[in-house]
Amino acid sequence: MKKKIKIKFYFVNSLTFFRIVAALIIASFLYFFSKINNFYLFYTSFVVFILASLSDLFDGFLARKWKIVSEFGKVFDPITDKILTTTTFFFLAYLSLVPWGFVLIFILRDVIVDGIRIFLAKKNINVAANFWGKSKTVLQIIAISIIFIGYSISVEFYDKNFYNKHFYLFNLGVIISAFIAIVSGLFYISPITKLAKDKIAS
């Protein structure tokens, strides 16, 4: 029985770690795409991204179904999500498909939030992912998918200028997810503010 639980546990965690591997594959493929302009690399990157995003749904679902939700999973699941989305955003920006400013917002937000989480954990205060945080991840996945699809359609049926002409329309999802990223980040700052007030009051 314990062996079966271990197998299930390792399988679920392998799905989590798959997102890190996927991020490395996407980074490599998009980088080489920028050099040799082989669109199979671009399309394959999108397929890998979708598979990695779906793995995020399955590992959580299976962990709950098999009742093997662990602290390890709670900590590393959101981290691997961030690695996947941030890496993909970075290289899409490198290809000039996404504004660098929004990528910077995502990176700064995640660094600040993770820093706050570590600080609060030392104070034995657990800050779980809230609705806004989960919404941010979903919106980022949708936004990235729109960029991949939008640029692919532009190249296949129009030309590269079509994407540039409708640049901010294709990036509307990125803009919305950046706003949600800021809002969700503010929820993590709230416990820090409360701690500071309590310390001053004492």
| Domain enclosing residue 59, as ranges | 2-201
> Which carries the bigger pLDDT value, residue 63 or residue 156?
156
126-136 confidence digits (pLDDT tens): 665 667 778 88
The vertex-85 CA angle with 79 and 87, nearest 5°, equals 95
Confidence tier at 68 by pLDDT (50, 70, 90) = low
pLDDT band at 9 (very low <50, low <70, confident <90, very high): low
Candidate from 26-30, 74-78, 83-87, 166-170 with smallest mean pLDDT: 74-78
**Greater confidence, 34 or 71?**
34
Q: Could you give the number of structural domains in the chain?
A: 1
Give the least confident one: 31-45, 116-130, 162-176.
Answer: 116-130
- Please say if the pLDDT value at position 115 is more than 90: no
Q: What is the pLDDT of residue 161?
A: 84
Mean pLDDT of the residues in the chain: 83
CA angle at 98 for the pair 93 and 99, rounded to the nearest 5°: 90
What is the model's pLDDT at position 138? 92
pLDDT at 62 over 60: yes
Q: In CATH, what number is assigned to the domain containing residue 111?
A: 1.20.120.1760
Give the pLDDT of residue 1. 47
- Across the range 112-136, mean pLDDT stands at 73
User: Whole-prediction pTM value?
Assistant: 0.86
Q: What is the pLDDT of residue 89?
A: 97
The pLDDT value recorded for residue 199 is 54
148, pLDDT greater than 60: yes
